[in-house]
Amino acid sequence: MNLTGKRVAVLGAGRSGRAAADLALRHGGEVAVYDAGREEVFDGLRDEIRCCPRATEETGKACAADVVVISPGIETTGGFASSFARGAGEFIGETEFASRYFDGLVIGITGTNGKTTTTELVQRMVEAGGKSCEACGNYGRPLSDVVIDDHPPAAVSLELSSFQLETISTFRPDVAVWLNFSPDHMDRYRSVDEYRGAKLRIFKNQREDDAAVVRFGEEVGKISASRISFSATQSDADYALRGSEILCQGAKVLDLEETPLRGLHNAENVMAALAAVEAAKVMPKEAVAVFGEYSPPLHRCELVRTLDGVEYINDSKATNLHALEAALRSQSRPTVLIAGGKEKGLDYTPLLPVLKGRVSQIVVFGEIRRSLVDVFSPVARTVSAESLQDAVQIAREASATGGTVLFSPGTSSFDMFSGYEQRGDAYRKIVHALK
């Protein structure tokens, strides 16, 4: 994609926008970055890039660019983005833009939950199989930042959110991984179908010689790629679970007891990674060694400490109902649940059968706490807390030796924190301060 003499407008001065601007500049574009923020959000951009602070819809209407590249955090159907799209020769996202400059192996990974763990596992396995590989995209560095390297990797393990997939047009992964699906981001999408449709775009440009790794039973419609299935609960899948053993077509591949990974959700992450790497024909000879050395990501069913015989689990990355349900199902001890956060318009009633009998008490906090008291009270004693610190203290008093305090919010953190990482760090700090 030759940008010499072409005007490139990048929307958003965050990590993705900055990386896209640098990439456009590298390929000869006349680059301008637009952001609604003040001048300081542009600090550190190259001198050759024109900075346009305090951008509005009126700014967009006056912009005539050959290519507009939008960052994933900006709503594509909103007035701001739409104003720039009207005068654009082409309107694409950062992932689509970067993919046009990468000729290596692409393993794309999407799903409502488990993307980060699977992305990390794929990256490690590909490297163990002899190819250089970068885990990137919605995880780690933006793809634009990776492809601009003087020596880019031979492969990428590319975590893809629905926001990134909304704006692809020609992007085609050699292997597409569909982990699971449950309603999420209803504060951005008008319906569950719209959210699902954005994610399904991962298969849009695949061909018969590509591979699609899909959780058994998931409805993804008609796709051109060769399909490989996995499931921790269905024995008919290509990759299945027998006890703690992962099987491929009935043959043992590895035993999860030899790894630090536990729970059905992690079993499926492992299966998906194995299937993806095998489909890409870079399976390492000793796959078990890769998993045995792997440490799960922070904030995902992370054991913070054991105090007075009670395990304190940090699952701050559970920003939706599916992740919360997975965390609950993986617990084998009496559990006190801490949940709550931002109101995202989700329906929590499907969780009631899972909560019933699994939790001894629920402590709720954040913007959504009052409505959660009403929803959860019929199946378990539910207490409202004014802060996360209060929630932890209440949970401690409600727990007993041999039990678990599970911090699995089930919604996003933006009512009180900058992200799930800050929320998880706060929980960890509060728990370590308990005496």
User: Can you give the pLDDT at residue 259?
Assistant: 84
CATH class of the domain at 102-292 = alpha beta
> 55-93 in b/e burial notation, b at 16+ Cβ within 10 A?
beeebbeebebebbbbbbebbbeeebbebbbeebebbbb
User: Can you give the pLDDT at residue 368?
Assistant: 96
CB 20 within 8 A of CB 81: no
The yes-or-no verdict on residue 184 having pLDDT over 70 is no
The yes-or-no verdict on residue 285 having pLDDT over 90 is no
Annotation: CATH topology of 7-95: Rossmann fold (3.40.50)
Tell how far CA 45 is from the center of its chain: 27
- H helices within 50-166, ranges in order? 57-61, 79-85, 94-99, 115-128, 143-147, 162-165
Least trusted range by pLDDT, from 225-229, 293-297, 377-381: 293-297
Distances (CA, A) of 286 to 111, 254, 290, 292, 407: 27, 10, 7, 10, 35
Please compute the mean of the pLDDT values over residues 39-56 and round it to a whole number. 96
Point out which residues pair with 305 in neighbouring strands. 312
User: Can you give the pLDDT at residue 18?
Assistant: 97
The chain-wide mean pLDDT, for the chain, equals: 93
Global pTM reads 0.77
User: Can you give the pLDDT at residue 41?
Assistant: 93
User: Can you give the pLDDT at residue 186?
Assistant: 58
Percent of the chain with pLDDT over 70: 99
Other beta carbons within 10 Å of 99: 24
The 10s digit of each residue's pLDDT in 222-261 is 999 999 999 999 999 999 999 889 999 999 999 988 887 8
278/300: higher pLDDT: 278
The yes-or-no verdict on residue 416 having pLDDT over 90 is yes
User: Can you give the pLDDT at residue 182?
Assistant: 75
Residue found by looking up tokens 């409502």 in the block? 112
Please compute the mean of the pLDDT values over residues 157-168 and round it to a whole number. 95
Band the pLDDT of 297: cuts 50, 70, 90.
confident
- In angstroms, the CA 232 to CA 243 distance is 10
**3-class DSSP state for residue 193?**
helix
- In angstroms, the CA 13 to CA 35 distance is 6
The 10s digit of each residue's pLDDT in 53-111 is 999 999 999 999 999 999 998 999 899 999 999 989 999 999 999 999 999 999 999 99
The yes-or-no verdict on residue 188 having pLDDT over 80 is no
Band the pLDDT of 329: cuts 50, 70, 90.
confident
User: Could you tell me which of 281, 310, 363, 364 has the C-alpha nearest to residue 105?
Assistant: 281
CATH class of the domain at 302-433 = alpha beta
Sequence ranges of the domains in the chain: 7-95, 102-292, 302-433
- In angstroms, the CA 133 to CA 243 distance is 32
